Structure 1
Amino acid sequence: MLAAFALVGAAALAPLRPAMAADCGATAAPGLDWSDCSKRNIMIPGSELEGAKLYSTDFAVTDLSNSNLKSADLEKATLVRASLAGARADKANFSKVEAYRSNFAGISAEGANFANAELQRANFGDAKLTGANFEKAELGRADFDKAVLTGVRFSLANLSRADLSQATFGGPLVFDHAFMYLTRIEGLDLSAAQGLEQAQIDLACGDANTKLPAGLKAPAGWPCPPDDRDN
């Protein structure tokens, strides 16, 4: 009897295992589970990964260009120097990813979540990011050349030296408490932007064509010298 109770007690203390473990050897397919798997430095462009579970997956230096990542969960995934160029990732979860120098050029990530992501020097050229959330993201030197940023939230994000100057948007951007040291906003119409304060504008790089919300004014230091913008 005591032995039986001991077995029951040991079972109760044993860690619970997920009902289904990740299948790291599976071929890319919608809804698969590659959580915590290593898919590092491989070529898998055009993969069908819609709704896939990619939590903490290592995709460093991997080619995922033109892949379908709609509604995929990539929270805490490693995407350092990975290519997601041309991928479809609407409503995907990129929160807390590590994606230094990653290529998101031409990605469609409307409604995607990039909160708390590490995106320093990431390339978002021509990306469609309507409604995306970059709250608390690290975006130092990120490039948004010709990206569509309608309704994007940059609350508490680090936009130090990021380039928004050639971005387009048809609705307000949210900048409350964003760090905008030398953020390039030349030529942008930010008159409807939300959360912008004079202290942020004083740090940023605008020009005579930058339109600001009512009550804010261009600092005497605009435009920034070329060496400040490019270094």
Structure 2
Amino acid sequence: MSRLPLRLAAAVTAFVAAPMAAHAAFLGDREVARVNSFGGSCVRCELSGRNLEGARIVGANFSGAVLVGANLRGARVQASIFSGADLTRADLSDAQASGASFHRAVMPQAVLRDVAIQGGMFVEADLTRANLSDAALQGAEFSRANLSGANLRGAQLQGARLTRVEAAGAVFNDASLVGAHLAGGRFARASFRDAQLAGATLTGADFAGADFRDASLSRSQIGGVDFSKTKGLTQEQLDEACGDGRTRTPAGLTVKACGGAMRLIVRTPRPPPPPRAPPPPRYADAER
């Protein structure tokens, strides 16, 4: 484990020790305080299995940190970096984040159910078999991420970028992908049942064996897409989209050519400017 800066290490230690302190609610006449707000550098530090539930993390750098199986349920994260961090099986359910970066983070089987992440960066992240059901990820950047077998049922992905992702077997049922960019992605055997793909760009993506039953393709661009081996596509769905001479459809179905550039503006909320980091707690014994 790398050496943590003294004050951040003290804050994290005090935070994860809080459950033990909870058995003694009072110390004399003073209530035992729970430290749940910290920032600073924690590069490559070891926090596997730690309980950080409800933590407020502001301006922190967890690049390369190991948080395997860590509990971050309900955490509030602002302007913090988790690039290259190992969050395998970590639980971030109900967490809220603004301006957080998970670039190249290792997150297989991580739980991000019901998270709300504004301006999230997941470029080249490994989210294999992760649970992102009902997550609010409008405008998130997933380019070249691995979403194989991931659960994105009911996720809000309006305007998100999923270009060149690996998403074989992923589940997008009931998800909103309005105005999303899926160009060049690999979605073999993925499920888009009842998904909203209005105005989405699917150009050049691979959908072999994908299920589009009751999905909306209104104003979507499907140029160069091979739909010949997909499931559940109907002529009515294809009539709402447009393609080109390279678009391949299931037997007996056709698609009209795009008559001109289509433009769908999806306004996603801009993340607020990051607040100033709170002053680190003082630990008299640690500073001596």
TM-score bracket for this pair, using the shorter chain length: 0.7 to 0.9
Question: By how many angstroms is 1:206 displaced?
Answer: 1.1
Bigger RCO (CA 8 Å, 6+ sep): 2
1:166-203 superposed Cα distances (whole Å, 9 cap, x missing partner): 2134x311111001111111121211111111111110
Match of 2:220 in 1: 183
Match of 1:60 in 2: 98
Check conservation: 2:161, 2:182, Cα contact below 8 A: yes
Q: What is the aligned counterpart of 1:225 among 246, 249, 260? A: 260
Match of 2:238 in 1: 201
Match of 2:188 in 1: 150
Question: By how many angstroms is 1:25 displaced?
Answer: 7.0
Distance in 2 separating the partners of 1:22 and 1:229: 42
Q: What is the aligned counterpart of 2:127 among 86, 89, 93? A: 89
Distance in 1 separating the partners of 2:171 and 2:91: 20
Check conservation: 1:23, 1:33, Cα contact below 8 A: no
Match of 1:24 in 2: 55
Check conservation: 2:189, 2:210, Cα contact below 8 A: yes
Question: By how many angstroms is 1:54 displaced?
Answer: 0.7
Q: Is residue 39 from structure 1 mapped to residue 77 from structure 2 by the alignment?
A: yes
Q: 5+ residue gaps in structure 2?
A: 1-50, 266-288
Distance in 2 separating the partners of 1:209 and 1:48: 41
Task: Indicate the SS of the match to 1:39.
Answer: strand
Question: By how many angstroms is 1:40 displaced?
Answer: 2.3
1:12-50 superposed Cα distances (whole Å, 9 cap, x missing partner): xxxxxxxx7826279751001110110122122111110
Distance in 2 separating the partners of 1:57 and 1:183: 32
Match of 1:137 in 2: 175
When the two structures are aligned, how many residues end up with a matched partner? 208
Distance in 1 separating the partners of 2:259 and 2:92: 41
Task: Indicate the SS of the match to 2:96.
Answer: coil
**Bigger proportion of residues as strand:** 2
Check conservation: 1:205, 1:229, Cα contact below 8 A: no
Q: What is the aligned counterpart of 2:159 among 121, 130, 144? A: 121
Check conservation: 2:179, 2:197, Cα contact below 8 A: yes
AA in 1 matched with 2:166:
K
Distance in 1 separating the partners of 2:224 and 2:183: 13
Task: Indicate the SS of the match to 1:153.
Answer: coil
Distance in 1 separating the partners of 2:140 and 2:254: 35
Q: Alpha carbon RMSD of aligned pairs, Å?
A: 1.9
1:107-146 superposed Cα distances (whole Å, 9 cap, x missing partner): 1110000000000111111211011000000001111122
The 1:115–1:224 alpha-carbon spacing in structure 2 relative to 1, beyond 3 Å, is farther
Distance in 2 separating the partners of 1:120 and 1:190: 23
Question: By how many angstroms is 1:161 displaced?
Answer: 0.8
Compute the TM-score of the two structures, normalised by the length of structure 1.
Answer: 0.84
Q: Is residue 79 from structure 1 mapped to residue 117 from structure 2 by the alignment?
A: yes
Percent of aligned pairs sharing the same letter: 25
Q: Is residue 98 from structure 1 mapped to residue 133 from structure 2 by the alignment?
A: no
Quick check: 160-169 or 173-182, which moved more? 160-169
The 1:35–1:218 alpha-carbon spacing in structure 2 relative to 1, beyond 3 Å, is same
